Amino acid sequence: MKKLVSAPALFAAAGVLLVTGLLLAFLYSPMDASTMGYSQKIFYYHAPIAETALLAFGISFVAAILYLRSQNDKWDRLGVVSIRLGLVFSILVMATGMIWGKAAWGTWWDWEPRLTTFLLVCFLYTAYFVLRSVVDEEQRRATFAAVFAIIAFIDVPITFFATRFLPAGMHPTVITSSGTGMPGSMFVSFFISMIGMTLLLVALIRRDLGIEELRDRVADLKHSIGG
Amino acid sequence: MTIEEGAKFVAAAYAIILAVLVIYYFMSARRVNALKRDMELLEQEVQRRPPAAGESGD
C-alpha cells in the first residue's frame, strides 16, 4: 500500500531541481534590466507553474477521451486528480501573477487577454467539480465530467496562445518560435525550475491517484459490509 | 523600483507558492492516513463478521 500512495524518488528529484533552479535564479541569473528590475525573479517559478497547470489540464483532456472510449474508471480518476492539481497550480499562477503585476505594471489586475482567459480556465475547471458533485450515479458522473473536461480544454490553447495572437495585452511572451527571449544565464534557471515543476506535478498525480484508489477501495469495503 | 521594494514582492510570491504546496502536501498526507485507518478498521470488521447464509465461510 505504501508503494501505491508515495512517489519519494520523484518528490526528491523535483525538490532538488526546484531548489537548484531557485538558487540559480537568485545567485546566477542577472537582474532584469527593464522596468521589472528585481521583481522579475518571480518569473522563475511563475512561468513553470503556469505551464505545469496547463499541462495538468492537457492530461485531463487525454484522460477524458480515454474514459469515453473505454469507460475504465482509472481514466476518470486521472481526470479528477489532474484537474484538481491543475487548479491548485492555477491558483498559484493567479496569485504570483497578481503580485508580479503590481510590482511591474503598478496594478494587481488587468482585463488583458492572457489574464482574462486564464481566469476563465480557473472558473471552467472549478465548474467541473460542481458538475461532479450534482450527479449521484457513478458512471453518469464520470461520463458527464469527461465531456465537460473536453469542452473546458478548448480554453487552454486559447490561454497559451493569447499573448501570441492577441498582442494587445501587457503580458509578455517570453518563449516564441524565434527563441527564448532571454539570455542563457536566465534560461538555465528557468529550464531547471520548469523540469522540477513538471516532475512535482507527476509526483503529485501519482500520489493523488493512489489516494483516489484507496478511497474507492474503502467505499467498496463499506458497501460490501452494508455501511 | 528599488531592489528592496522588488524583494518584498518576490518574497511574497515565493512565500505563497511554498505555503500552498506545503499545505496541499500535508493535507493529502493526512487524507492518506485517514483512509488507511478506515481501510484497516473495515478489513477487521469484515474478518470479525460471521459469514452470511449461503456463503461457504472459507
Span B1-19, pLDDT tens digits: 788 888 999 999 999 999 9
CA dihedral A49, A17, A183, A27 (to 10 degrees): 110
Rounded to an integer, the average pLDDT of B31-51 is 87
Task: Examine residue A21 and state whether it is found in any structural domain, yes or no.
Answer: no
Task: Examine residue B6 and state whether it is found in any structural domain, yes or no.
Answer: no
Report the domain count for chain A. Answer: 1
Owning domain of residue A96: 43-172+181-224
The predicted pLDDT at position A5 comes to: 46
ipTM exceeding cut-off 0.95 for this assembly: no
Give me the total of CB pairs closer than 8 Å, taking one residue from chain A and one from chain B: 85
Q: Which of A159, A175, A182 is nearest to A40 (CA)?
A: A182
Q: How far is CA A87 from CA A108, A112, A185, in A?
A: 20, 21, 31
Task: Report CB contact under 8 Å: B13, A99.
Answer: yes
Q: Is A84 on the interface with B (CB under 8 A)?
A: no
The predicted pLDDT at position A226 comes to: 75
The secondary element (H helix, E strand) that includes residue B30 is helix B3-48
Task: Examine residue B7 and state whether it is found in any structural domain, yes or no.
Answer: no
Measure A97 CA to nearest chain B CA, in Å: 8
Give the Cα separation of A195 and A18 in Å (integer): 8
The predicted pLDDT at position A222 comes to: 86
Give the Cα separation of A115 and A109 in Å (integer): 8
Q: Write out residues in chain A with pLDDT < 70, as ranges.
A: 1-6, 33, 35, 167-180, 227
Task: Examine residue A81 and state whether it is found in any structural domain, yes or no.
Answer: yes
User: Where do we find the cell 495572437?
Assistant: A165
Q: Which of A164, A153, A64 is nearest to A113 (CA)?
A: A164
Task: Examine residue A1 and state whether it is found in any structural domain, yes or no.
Answer: no
Kindly identify which residue of chain A lies nearest to residue B46, measuring between CA atoms.
A225
Confidence of residue B49 (pLDDT cuts 50, 70, 90): confident
Q: Is B33 on the interface with A (CB under 8 A)?
A: no
Task: Report CB contact under 8 Å: A222, B42.
Answer: yes
Q: 30-49 in A: which are within 8 Å (CB) of B?
A: 31, 35, 37-39, 41-42, 45-46, 49
Query: What one-character-per-residue DSSP string does A36-62 give?
Result: TGGGGGGHHHHHHHHHHHHHHHHHHHH
Task: Examine residue A12 and state whether it is found in any structural domain, yes or no.
Answer: no
Task: Examine residue A69 and state whether it is found in any structural domain, yes or no.
Answer: yes
Task: Report CB contact under 8 Å: B35, A227.
Answer: no
Give the Cα separation of A73 and A160 in Å (integer): 30
Q: Is B27 on the interface with A (CB under 8 A)?
A: no
CA angle in degrees (0–180, nearest 5) for B25-B27-B29: 70
Task: Indicate whether B31 pLDDT > 60.
Answer: yes
Q: How does pLDDT run across A202-216, given as a tens digit for each residue?
A: 999 999 999 999 998
Task: Examine residue A35 and state whether it is found in any structural domain, yes or no.
Answer: no
The predicted pLDDT at position A37 comes to: 79
Task: Examine residue A218 and state whether it is found in any structural domain, yes or no.
Answer: yes
Report the domain count for chain B. Answer: 1
Q: Which residues, 6 or more positions from A158, have their beta carbon under 8 angstroms from its beta carbon?
A: A117
Q: Is A103 on the interface with B (CB under 8 A)?
A: yes
The predicted pLDDT at position A7 comes to: 74
For residue A47, report the phi and psi dihedrals to the nearest 5 degrees.
-65, -45
Task: Examine residue A8 and state whether it is found in any structural domain, yes or no.
Answer: no
Task: Examine residue B57 and state whether it is found in any structural domain, yes or no.
Answer: no
Owning domain of residue B29: 15-46
User: Which residues of A fall within a CB distance of 8 Å from B48?
Assistant: none
Of A35, A42, A200, the CB nearest to B9: A42
